[in-house]
Amino acid sequence: MNTMSAWGMGIESTASAPPALSGSGKGKKVLILGAGLAGMTAAYELEKLGYKVQVLEARSFAGGRCQTARKGFSLTELGGEKQTCAFDDGQYINHGPWRIPLHHQSTLHYTKLFEVPLEVMVNDNDHAYVYSENAGPFAGKRLRVKEVKADMRGHVSELLAKSVKSHQLDQELTADDQRLLLDYLQHEGALTANDLQYKGRSGRGFKVNPGAGLNPGPGTPSDPLGFKDLLASKLGNVYSAVQDFPMQNTMFQPVGGMDAIAKAFEKRVGKNIRYKAEVQTIRQNDKGVTVTYKDTGTNKLGSISADYCLCAIPLSVLRQIDTDFSDKFKKAVATVAYAPVGKIGLQMKRRFWEEDDHIYGGHIMTDLKGINVISVPSYGFQKKKGVLLGYYQYQTAAIEISALSPKERAEFALAAGQKIFPQYTENFENAFSVAWHRVQYNLGGWAEWTDKTRAAAYPTLVEGEGRILLAGEHLSYLTGWQAGAIESAWQQIAKIHERASA
């Protein structure tokens, strides 16, 4: 029963299950390049269809960008020094993907199927701070998001109510609609009943919280921020009427770290993965595909042939591999930009953001250069220590900071974040950072399409060439999301199956 179709409203079409494919792949072999989520999704589904599946993975572990840094996890960026994560047991940072939106039913298909326990990832916390150094009258001050939302919407509601009452909207709205609009504005803005003014509200927080007895008793209300100050600060523009797709509640994270998803796949398809197999050449003809690889442990070369190949290697890496793709296809592979992205996890000896600031999970938005956001963990509430995300950089900032040593990156994150949380220095213990554009076999956080490259290269890449199809988040409009990788794999294995069954 598709209950949704019984309703006229709120229908959303979404890819929530692998393609229902009939027939069998028996006797046919598919070679999959890359054991990230796209590659492993394909391996899992194709094997169920009867295909012989072989996966080549350059690393010694599966998952691609679906990684979690915890005690002992090590990373050596290209040209960088080796970092080994020194977080306490039970502490971790998802330095790759860290969120599973409710809309990503494809990812949720596998967490359910593989029984990967999920917990809520606090992605929306109006009690968190917003901190801007360029916020006019509020520059360098911490505000709570709720203050900005309550006061901006309160003042704006008051302003519009005034327009209605002074008959400036008589042309736009009937008398009935004006009355309904005033009711709405009074509610939305918490305006006073008699004169429709905004004078603050409980949702912006109290000066003294309500409590027991006579004191504090009902508590003491707080005063709203001034409308003109708020306008000048532009802080109202940090938030919006509603969280944009796909950022809405409910957001999830796997209990214990995002790599639980990678491990769940690996448990099922790991037997078909050859690790430390770095692809060297890709060749195809009418009969099949042949890939040579280097075993990075032994430095020996090997070769595998198959009827079809699904290449789930990031384009940033694929374009450095020796292939016999057509010039047009090679150009398409080469044309897509990859995002410089940096993240850092900072282990703190005390969860001061909870204890002092009462922020339990969620993001502190900031315009501090190279920081962007400080995100506090949605696991281990009220425990002793915690690992927070100290920055999440893109573009120029990510490139600049990535040139620093791991130690210098931590120093940068601490010095900047200290402006928001003065508790940083005395609580910092250790850090783990990643600059995805400097990570071998990734060379970027995700594919960064523009209208121009979508037009020039996307259809070509989606189509594949001959017996080779590509898959990954880069072949979706969910770039940077695990769902993009999974749904891309779903589409491409359907095409392989169609061609193989022809």
Q: State yes or no: residue 184 binds its own copies (CB under 8 A).
A: yes
Report the greatest alpha carbon distance in the chain. Answer: 86
Report the residue count for the chain: 502
Residue number, 9 or 502, with CB nearest to its own copies = 9
Using CB under 8 A as the criterion, what x/- string covers residues 425-464 for binding its own copies? ---------------------------------xx--x--
Residue 157 or 335 with smaller CB distance to its own copies: 157
Say whether residue 327 binds its own copies (CB under 8 A): no
Contacts of 430 (CB under 8 A, 6+ apart): 86, 87, 346, 347, 410
Q: Would you count residue 358 as binding its own copies (CB under 8 A)?
A: yes
Nearest residue (CB) to its own copies, 229 versus 400: 229
**Interface with its own copies, residue 363, by CB under 8 A:** no
* CB 480, CB 471: distance < 8 Å: no
For position 180 contacting its own copies by CB under 8 A, the verdict is yes
Segment contacting its own copies by CB under 8 A, of 178-186, 288-296, 314-322, 428-436: 178-186
**From the list 183, 322, 408, 498, which residue makes contact with its own copies (rule: CB under 8 A)?**
183
Pick the closer one to its own copies by CB: 246 or 288: 246
388 binds its own copies per the rule CB under 8 A: no
Which among 67, 51, 98, 477 has a CA at the least distance from the CA of 269? Answer: 51
| Count of residues in contact with its own copies, rule CB under 8 A | 121
**Tokens standing for residue 257:** 């770290």
Q: Are 37 and 265 contacting, i.e. CB atoms less than 8 angstroms apart? A: yes
- Angle formed by the axes of helices 37-48 and 482-501, nearest 10°: 40
Stretch that binds its own copies, among 215-223, 291-299, 404-412, 440-448 (CB under 8 A): 215-223
Q: Of 273, 249, 265, whose CA–CA distance to 116 is shortest? A: 265
CB of 351 to its own copies, least distance (A): 10
| Closest listed residue to residue 389, CA positions, set 422, 432, 354, 435 | 432
CB of 274 or CB of 350, closer to its own copies = 350
Among 71, 162, 283, 330, binds its own copies (CB under 8 A): 162
Contact with its own copies (CB under 8 A) among 422, 455, 498, 501? 422
Q: Which stretch binds its own copies (CB under 8 A): 65-73, 296-304, 427-435, 488-496?
A: 488-496
Determine which residue in the list 55, 56, 93, 108 makes contact with its own copies, applying CB under 8 A: 108
Question: Under a CB-based contact definition with an 8 Å cutoff, are residues 386 and 344 in contact?
Answer: no
Distance CA(313)–CA(363), nearest Å, equals: 32
Give the footprint of its own copies on residues 232-271 (CB under 8 A): 232, 234, 236-237, 239-245, 248-250, 252
In terms of Cα–Cα distance, which of 257, 255, 293 is closest to 274? 293
Which conformational region is residue 346 in: left (phi greater than 0), alpha (psi within -120 to 50 degrees), or beta? beta
Q: Is 163 in the site for its own copies (CB under 8 A)?
A: yes
β-sheet with 273-274: strand ranges across: 273-274, 52-56, 29-33, 308-311, 468-470
Closest distance to its own copies from the beta carbon of 122 (Å): 5
How many C-beta atoms lie closer than 10 Å to residue 128's C-beta? 27
**Which of positions 109-138 make contact with its own copies (CB under 8 A)?**
111-112, 118-120, 122, 124-127, 129, 138
Contact 236, 152 (CB under 8 A): yes
Residues near 295 by beta carbon (within 8 Å), at least 6 away in sequence: 276, 277, 278, 301, 302
Query: Residue 498 interacts with its own copies (CB under 8 A)?
Result: no
- In this chain, which of 159, 301, 334, 337 binds its own copies, going by CB under 8 A? 159
Instruction: Report, in Å, the least distance between residue 31 CB and its own copies.
Output: 21
Q: Is residue 107 close enough to count as binding its own copies by CB under 8 A?
A: no
Cα–Cα distance for residue pair 401/463, rounded to 1 Å: 37
Tell me: does residue 89 bind its own copies (CB under 8 A): no
**Could you tell me which stretch among 68-76, 365-373, 429-437, 487-495 binds its own copies (CB under 8 A)?**
487-495
Tokens of 31: 């070679």
b/e 82-97 (16+ beta carbons within 10 angstroms → b): ebebebbeebbbbbbb
Pick the stretch among 56-64, 225-233, 337-345, 389-397 that binds its own copies (CB under 8 A): 225-233
